[in-house]
Structure 1
Amino acid sequence: MGDKHFDLAYFICAGHLSPEREKLLLETYEDYQEEYILQHKIVVYYLIILW
């Protein structure tokens, strides 16, 4: 969709990343807002359920 937070959330959810790998990904990425990641993860899971 073009929003980096949505893209990160989608990658985390679709990849079924463990909490350790998610933390490593986000630490490596550096430039993100944790609150926005959480909000977008909720949207991603909602879209998955609707599909």
Structure 2
Amino acid sequence: MNFATQSYAPALPAHDARTLTEGGSLAQIALDGQIYTLRITKAGKLILTK
């Protein structure tokens, strides 16, 4: 027998890091009363710190 299976996972929200930083390299993100800093490095990598 041949059973075709399909998975219907909801799409994950996507956010552009350059938009979050408004063209800069830093953004603050709040979660449950805590503030985190998102940083875009010169190499184009992301760092998230508390």
TM-score, normalisation: structure 1 = 0.23
Identify the structure with the greater helix proportion.
1
Q: Which has the greater radius of gyration? A: 2
Identify the structure with the greater strand proportion.
2
TM-score, normalisation: structure 2 = 0.23
